[in-house]
Structure 1
Amino acid sequence: MLQDTFGRRFYYLRLSITDVCNFRCQYCLPDGYEGQAQTFLSVNEIDTLVKGFAGMGTCKIRVTGGEPTLRKDVSDIVAACAATPGIQKVAMTTHGGKLASHAKSLADAGLSQVNISLDSLDPAQFALISGQDKLNAVLDGVNEALIQGMSVKVNTVLLRPFAESQLSTFLDWLKDMPVTVRFIELMETGQHKAFFKSHHTSAEPFLARLKAAGWEVLKRGADAGPAVELQHPDYAGRIGFIMPYSSDFCSSCNRLRVTALGKLHLCLFSDNGLPLRDYLLRGDVSGLQGFITEKLADKKVSHYLQDGVTGITKNLSMLGG
């Protein structure tokens, strides 16, 4: 079992397969993708990586980007993860713009959960935040994922001055929509410090308001993310809040991250990535496991976001969030 010096166990790997994204979200890539052509991890390398993590107790893989559906072999990657002994759940985070056409092949490959970035249900507001007039395409992706039997979560970044309208419209939507909407506090990154200062708002008042309105907090699973999730008997869907600036946020950390170039990040806001690719190219599972176990001793107790530390993370597309 992967465990750090603070007793935290790591059941969950976030695996980026590309840093390319074709959306222009204000809080991530407002000027569009500006990276250079690179050789991302192959299916064979990913197979070695996942075997290594699964052999050390990891049971959940989340495929991320950038935008993972921009890779033509995305279904092959999901299938390789799902076929690995010990892996019980394969999930994906996507902007959802191409999900309607990919949902069936992804479900057939073994994808059981999808998280879709959807910051507004208002077409004009959605286009303003995401840089793309594709709200209907994303909503089609939500519906198709549900048809394919996937568990669907919607990720919404709380942004001042939109937060009140975001909460109101999504609450109405959840009356009949069997998905979980997770409101995520905007996180500071290296390229967007000014945007953070002008748009960050705390989720705490919204969480308190829902508790007062009869929403009940659910118990968190061992492989679950950091969200506080709530349910209400009058709603088909659920609400979640991800609050990285809360005092105890890092105490429940249960995930590690690997970039599309094969670097291990012990935290989303770490100072550097640790190279794994030599092990992956050789198919060296035991060497990979030894290296990860050794380096895990360096994982810090906190991300230190509350102190304005953003590490190497220029934007969230670099590491898949």
Structure 2
Amino acid sequence: MIATAPVPSQPALVDAHGRTIRYLRISVTDRCDLRCRYCMAETMTFLPRRALLALEEIAIIAERFIARGVTKIRLTGGEPLVRRDVGELARRLGARIGRGLDELTLTTNGTRLAGHAAALHAAGVRRVNVSLDTLHPDRFRFITRHGDLAQVLDGIVAARAAGLAVKINTVALAGLNEDEIPSILAWCTSEGHDLSLIETMPLGAIDEDRVDRFVPLTRVFERLATDFDLIRDAHRTGGPARYWRVAGTNTRLGLISPLTANFCDGCNRMRLTTEGKLYACLGHDEQVDLKAALRGGGVAALDAAIDHALAIKPARHAFAIGPGAAPAVARHMSVTGG
């Protein structure tokens, strides 16, 4: 039986390096209905459903983080919208907006967004990040192995119609979409979307060599700067991106570059997996089992486990891409959450 009685607020979430944790990313499932080549192997083994946190447990953990100072929560996966009760979770957490929580967001591949956009807005979500690496249907199908671009674009239209701001997340991939990135940014400016470009991260074994696909964002930015008037912007969302505004538009361009411009000094994040493991860093294996703590000792044990995670959070990740280099960690991005 899970103890849910109120417990006095604990000290703020400050790690051993003096960084205050304000941002929790929650992977509600490791499952995804796509198989993007840079993220997953074509054949994946997912967690059995009995291993996952129950919705009530996710909510209790999230609410405890809010009580200790987290102001932003992102629901992610895998693909969060494949979990049937994700709408109920969004409603429960959305009810905390203005009562400790400033923002509730969601990252999605967009395939199911059209059917969920209105409910997400009603729950309190005001922005979604949509993973989209190309605007060419055939290329999209190749990158995702079987995806339908039209579904994603319909989802984006539905999101905007429901009142959700949309930020596009694009992983820069040599030989796949590097040539298209200026066109993607131009499309974002015409549609009123922000765009975040991301360097591919060495997480989990995949069927391809990441060295062949890695594109440094320094190179991408140099190309974009010749086509667009980019003005440095001090805007921060609580994530690792550095921002520029595209002059004459409402679009911001964000760069997330874990390999060419390490951003760990300002890290304010922790990640909760769908099975209840709290990872202090995306690029390390240090974690604590919040599911075991909650089920074994209730909220007091949960607080103690969170404190332990703060103590072991490393100063920086150890990402590296090169010939023969193994992934930084064995788990795939879909396990920890984007």
Band the TM-score falls in, shorter-chain normalisation: over 0.9
Match in the other structure for 1:139: 153
Q: Report the residue type matching 1:152 in the other structure.
A: V
Displaced runs of 4 or more, over 6 A: none
Counterpart of 2:168 in 1: which secondary structure? strand
TM-aligned CA distance change 1:311 to 1:187, over 3 Å = closer
Match in the other structure for 2:36: 25
Report if aligned partners of 2:284, 2:328 keep a CA contact under 8 Å in 1: yes
User: Which 10-residue stretch deviates more, 166-175 or 16-25?
Assistant: 166-175
Report if aligned partners of 1:119, 1:126 keep a CA contact under 8 Å in 2: yes
Match in the other structure for 1:315: 332
Match in the other structure for 2:4: none
Q: d(CA) in 1 for partners of 2:29 and 2:131?
A: 16
Q: Report the residue type matching 1:59 in the other structure.
A: T
Counterpart of 1:284 in 2: which secondary structure? helix
Report if aligned partners of 1:56, 1:289 keep a CA contact under 8 Å in 2: no
* Match among 213, 217, 224 for residue 232 of structure 2: 217
Match in the other structure for 2:191: 177
User: Which 10-residue stretch deviates more, 174-183 or 93-102?
Assistant: 174-183
Counterpart of 2:320 in 1: which secondary structure? helix
Shift of 1:132: 2.3
Match in the other structure for 2:7: none
Q: Report the residue type matching 2:335 in the other structure.
A: M
Q: d(CA) in 1 for partners of 2:152 and 2:294?
A: 34
Report if aligned partners of 1:118, 1:154 keep a CA contact under 8 Å in 2: yes
TM-aligned CA distance change 1:283 to 1:208, over 3 Å = farther
Q: Is 2:77 the partner of 1:65?
A: yes
Counterpart of 2:171 in 1: which secondary structure? strand
Q: Is 2:195 the partner of 1:202?
A: no
**Between the two proteins, what is the percent identity of the paired residues?**
33
TM-aligned CA distance change 1:64 to 1:229, over 3 Å = same
Shift of 1:133: 3.6
Report if aligned partners of 2:36, 2:145 keep a CA contact under 8 Å in 1: yes
Tell me the alpha carbon deviations over residues 32-88 of structure 1, each in whole angstroms, 9 at most, x when there is no partner: 432242222222101210111011110011001111111111110111212233111
Counterpart of 1:9 in 2: which secondary structure? coil
Q: Report the residue type matching 1:37 in the other structure.
A: P
Report if aligned partners of 2:94, 2:124 keep a CA contact under 8 Å in 1: yes
Q: Report the residue type matching 1:234 in the other structure.
A: G
Tell me the alpha carbon deviations over residues 252-282 of structure 1, each in whole angstroms, 9 at most, x when there is no partner: 2111001000011011122243111134336
Shift of 1:157: 0.7
User: Which 10-residue stretch deviates more, 229-238 or 305-314?
Assistant: 305-314
Q: Is 2:68 the partner of 1:56?
A: yes
Tell me the alpha carbon deviations over residues 226-263 of structure 1, each in whole angstroms, 9 at most, x when there is no partner: 11121123334222211001344111211100100001
Tell me the alpha carbon deviations over residues 123-160 of structure 1, each in whole angstroms, 9 at most, x when there is no partner: 11111101124101101111111111112111111000
Q: d(CA) in 2 for partners of 1:102 and 1:283?
A: 35
Written as runs of structure 1 = structure 2, the 5 A alignment for 1:166-315 is 166-192=180-206, 194-211=208-225, 213-221=228-236, 223-281=237-295, 284-306=298-320, 310-315=327-332
Q: d(CA) in 2 for partners of 1:310 and 1:267?
A: 15
Normalised to the residue count of structure 2, the TM-score between the two structures is 0.88
* Match among 93, 108, 111 for residue 81 of structure 1: 93
Normalised to the residue count of structure 1, the TM-score between the two structures is 0.93
